[in-house]
Each structure stands twice: as C-alpha cells, then as structure tokens.
Structure 1
Amino acid sequence: MFSARATRAAAQRVARPQSIRNPFQRRFASSESTFTGAENNAFNRERQAVKDHAAATSDLWRKLSIYATIPCLIIASVNAKILWDEHWAHWDHMEPLEERPEYPYQNMRTKNFFWGDGDKTLFWNEKVNYHKKE
C-alpha cells in the first residue's frame, strides 16, 4: 500500500519530540500591541482604525439584534395571535362543513391516495376540510 519511504518518513515525524517538530508557537489570540518605531506608519494606523471601526459596528449590530429584534418579534407574535383568534371567531358563525357547497374544482380525485382512507390529502385538516362522498 504505502511505499517504504513514506512509511519511514511518517515514523520519523512521529518519533521526533514536540519541541523539534514545531519550534514556534502560533498565537492567534494574542494581546493587542501599540505600534512603535518602524511599525508606526500610515498603513498600520489605517488598519488599526478599520479594526476599531469593525469592533464598534459589530457591537452596535449585536445590541440592535438583542434590544430591538426580540421586542419586535414579541409584538408581532402578539399581533398574530390576536388575528388568529379573530379569524377563528368568524368560523364559529359559519354553517357546519357538511352544509357548505362543494364546488367542482374542490377535492378532485383521479385515484385514491396510498395513505389513510385514500380520500384525504397529505395536509388534510378535519377542522376546515370536508369532502362530500357522492
């Protein structure tokens, strides 16, 4: 499968101590430094200004997401619940499903569905759907 050279090289890499394998440690989350000497040029100052602006902007959007979006969602949910209750209050005044007319374009069946009794669609709701059997 593997050549002898590849196997030998892998064994040598594993056998080396950690300090020899990776002498420099990567620091991705190191502390911020201020620029001094040759580092203090226009490019680095502009780059730092962009980072500061990004931090402030992301903080603004985080606050907006928490303090504006959540109350708006709560208000919209309450409004939807009120409209939902009004809608079902109208259904209480309508005649029963069995007495409503069934139009020719409703409940058209060319063959039975393979689930249930074959007459009801996959999203059938007993409260609002009714199919008169001939």
Structure 2
Amino acid sequence: MVSFGRISQALLRSSIIQTRQLSASAAHSHGEQTARTWKILSFVVALPGVAVCMLNMYLKMQQHAAHHVEPEFVPYSHLRIRSKRFPWGDGNKSLFHNPEVNALPDGYEGREE
C-alpha cells in the first residue's frame, strides 16, 4: 500500500511538472506569434499610413503657400510690449522667434511696409 502511495505521488508530481512546462511553452509560442503579427502590422499598415499622411500634409502645405497673402502689419499699442530686454540675442526677439511669423514691435524683419 505504501509503494502504491509513493508511485501515485511520483506520477502526480511528474504530471504537474509536465503541465507547467506545456503551458509555459504554449504561452511562449503565443507570445512569439503575437509579436510577429504586430511586427507585420507595423510594416504593412502603420508605416504606409504615416507616409500617406505626410504626403497629404506636404501637398496641402504647398497648395496653401501658393496663394497665401500676408496681412499688413498694424502696430497696435497693446501688442509686443517690451518692458525689459530679453536676456539673449539683441534683447528684442523672443527665445523661439520666427522672422516669417513673429513681428517685432516696429514690424516684420526684412520687409518694407
């Protein structure tokens, strides 16, 4: 009777170990398949989607720039107030100054108005 108990315990342990190994290998295989699927989707769907969006935005920008007319500069007294100089450059331009878009207190740079 004792030998039967030992044999059944040994078989039970081996079946539990095999079950754990099988489930771990199945999960590992599933993970590999999922990673492969996402990799394929990234290259086949996402990258071409980004490329199409970039092309669309570039074409719209070109179309907009072709007929864009800049408004004339109006020196409103409440805009572009400089109570003290900026600590960089000539002290008149903000840190992220863009001469095409941002006006100085006396007008846009490089344009005669």
Asked if Structure 1 and Structure 2 have the same fold, meaning a TM-score greater than 0.5 normalized by the shorter chain, the answer is yes
Aligned counterpart, 2:33: 56
Aligned counterpart, 1:94: 70
The separation in 2 between residues aligned to 1:121 and 1:69, in whole angstroms, is 38
Q: Which amino acid aligns with 2:38?
A: W
How big is the shift at 1:90? 4.2
Aligned counterpart, 2:87: 114
Q: 5+ residue gaps in structure 2?
A: 1-13, 107-113
- More divergent stretch after superposition (40-49 vs 122-131): 40-49
Aligned counterpart, 1:75: 52
After TM superposition, the runs of 4+ consecutive aligned structure 1 residues lying more than 3 A away are 102-105
The separation in 2 between residues aligned to 1:132 and 1:102, in whole angstroms, is 7
Tell me the TM-score normalised to structure 2 length.
0.67
Deviations 1:77-97 (A, max 9, x none): 111212222332343x234xx
Q: Is the 8 A contact 2:81 2:105 kept in 1?
A: no
The separation in 1 between residues aligned to 2:79 and 2:57, in whole angstroms, is 28
> RMSD of the TM alignment (CA)?
2.4
Match of 1:125 among 79, 82, 98: 98
Q: 5+ residue gaps in structure 1?
A: 1-37
Tell me the percent identity: 28
Higher relative contact order (CA 8 A, sep 6+): 2
The separation in 2 between residues aligned to 1:54 and 1:48, in whole angstroms, is 10
Tell me the TM-score normalised to structure 1 length.
0.58
Q: Which amino acid aligns with 1:131?
A: L
Please state whether the residue corresponding to 2:33 is helix, strand or coil. helix
